[in-house]
Amino acid sequence: MPTSSRRRISAALGPASRGAGLLACAAAIALTTACGSDAPADDPSSTAAPTSQTPLPPPPTKGTVPWGADLNGFAQKEVRCDGGDIAVRMMWTGENRFVACRNLKGIRYLKAWTRAQPSSTSDTRRPFVAMRGEFFTDTPNSMQFTTSDGAKFDLGPTIVTIQWPKANGSRKTISTSYTTGAGWTRLD
């Protein structure tokens, strides 16, 4: 507003109005300074969440996942966890593969690809067989599983031992052990 217009308004209002106007102006400046602007403050609870999801970190593990394997077991279907189940332990040596899996209910089971039970006639040309075991127990150093035919698998820190079922009428226990190295373990 031009200076001449301000002087005419001021003269028309008189000295009392000028003082009240200055007081009102000073009060408005003080409120704005003390309270901030007239715009509403941001509500922290209404702040939108980021639209992109952060991927979950991988599970804690010990050892190296073997070549051709992932968190669901080995590539071969015989030693791969069922459906959405996860591998909790993988051990291997040569062509032998052993994977302990855990289903969504937390129940563990074993899938193995190993040589068949030794026989007294031929121990050198045993075929490979796929085996499945149900969780039996934990020991201080291993996980144990049993199969429907009575074999017992013991997955130790660096050795897998299979105790085969006794033949009819035999009192002899036959075991096979495979030194596997440390393998891979999921720690959660």
Confidence of residue 104 (pLDDT cuts 50, 70, 90): very high
Q: What is the pLDDT of residue 11?
A: 52
Domain ranges in the chain are: 3-35, 61-186
Model pTM score: 0.66
Starting at the edge strand found earlier in the chain, the sheet holding 61-63 runs 61-63, 184-186, 86-93, 96-102, 108-115, 128-138, 143-147, 152-155, 159-163, 175-179
- How confident is the model over 20-78, as pLDDT tens digits? 454 444 444 444 444 444 444 444 444 555 556 777 777 788 888 888 899 899 999 99
pLDDT: is 2 or 147 the higher one? 147
- How confident is the model over 128-163, as pLDDT tens digits? 999 999 999 999 999 999 999 999 999 999 999 999
